[in-house]
Structure 1
């Protein structure tokens, strides 16, 4: 059996366990928490109104695109280490759009979501770190295939149809990291969800496509000869990747590649204040800030001097300065529009110093760290190291995140997010899609 056919078999026979379903419910709640503020206009965002003017026909494709954009607009949605991208925003946007068109049971919906995340993680391993290093945006490229796999499971397609679907999705997959810091970056998630829906519709309409060799060609063309296709199939679902290594929920509305640096800065701030010293004294004494990390560890957080709030999400300098000043990364400082000019003077004192003694980040991003050092006017220094694993170990309270996002919404919406029944799934889907 060829690779695509074997992959189709794995997708269609996926039977996630109750633990994977529990993680899927948590993923849905996080998705609602990060998309609802954009859908309701609680934060500045000119992209969604512009897209609404173009994609206003209410079709499944248009709804998938709009929801994908809204879910990624704040860069606050979950991340998956194997995928090296944001799986849920693409997968759930496609699933919710199709669910309203052709309702399925809650268990089937959750099975499809878990299957999509499994596909996402395996694709990330199969294309290797080279895919991202070459300039591809995994959420856009691999996300198209992951969402297509999820839809195939939702619709319980036959093997040959699923193989055709995967080939159509693969031939459409695209998206460049060069768009980071612009509205096109979240639109990548929308494009990927739309393309997955389109691939299903083309397959169901009888459009013929090759059922063998396309996945292999995609891997070869997008990984500079470093593809590992065997990882697509080996030990499928043991354990489910939605559980291990699992979805990583974000504590801050910034690039995940900035988070351990932000936490190191917060720890320095807390230590200073705990000693009974004033914040003004600290900020006035800082003459230099350095941040060290493994070589290539700032590939995603590549913008040193942001021009606006969206670019600031990808700036280690701005993130560190914001955390030192406010003790948090506030949504308003990373929203569309002007920068916070109280942050910029301090951000200008931050210097990046890759630690050449550490293995390159591309070898194992799970080992990433940030060392933040403050040099003070009196000649003393303050230093804090924070690893990615330490950040992940603390976790994120998704329910609290959701409650804050839904503070002005109907209590029924928060109740439905528990996803205890198919009726609650339908209610949640109607609420989200009606906000488009």
Structure 2
């Protein structure tokens, strides 16, 4: 069948097979975990190199380096506004629906050993300043450890250096460009394994945690999923309309990436592919290269909703009363601790531990209530993070006046080629960047 040639159909089959295997043969499902982990590692081994090639080349081709600083400022302003809104929404919903009320759990009865790992990681993260987290000890170390912020910093500096060198850097820029193209070809090959990776990750999740866990803390799961969906539809949908594109066409355009994130529970599994698709949509390479990797640490809308809702859930479950002032203090702490995640499954638990440890009112041991369902919560959390960063990239490009909404709508409406081919509409959208208001953002037509 023709539909089976599309990646999204193959991933759907992998997800469905994973759910069935995990439900009917849970022990076998748990053993499938290496399939999902291996797929994620295959993608992660390329992420830092893809970011380096994209960002450094994009900045090197910009005619005016002032654009880099301007894009950076706009990006941070947008991130702060939207993630703060996400935190507030999570706080309000938890206060209205009270998902933890009635559990009446004694904090002294909880097993603190289960959270000791997250406490140690939270303390290690707290001991580092923001500058220490961003600036690497060595360039090689940044690439080896896959630290996106550190790689992004080096890539920006390298791109600025190439831009200053001008003509003498053309050969090096061409080498980087061809290296980036080769990396994307490798990504295309790896993505053929996405159905297998989604199958393994989903089989593990269902086999490990089962349906019983979902029933036990069902209200929190339902509240979080509904809040996340409403955030996507109402908040991100409104922002999309302002940017000139429809939310549903955009989600349809990114359906393959959404399914992969749903199966693997991490946004890093689609970062290289997402960067490529946003460029094809008409977002200039420098904007994509700066906004998207930065957003993976600073624009985690799903994690923001998760942190406020789970914090209040633990407080309600352990009968810990929080006054309005104390909740505002919690919100202030979350404005800091919600930043710096790497987009990897489990990072939000470390941020939650750091938040409760700093707030010192809600018992940290209450995190044991969340651990069992964190993987389930992380599926929608990762999806919200991914959509939020895709929308952020479009918004910043529109804010810069270099996003052709009409050309983008044609891309979203046009049928796409199978196996990563480029449609005529995508080529025209890239060309519009070259012809419109800002030649500094000119990028090459995709092959």
TM range (shorter): under 0.3
**Higher RCO by CA contacts (8 Å cutoff, separation 6 or greater):** 2
Give the alignment's TM-score, normalised by structure 2: 0.26
Richer in strand (by share): 1
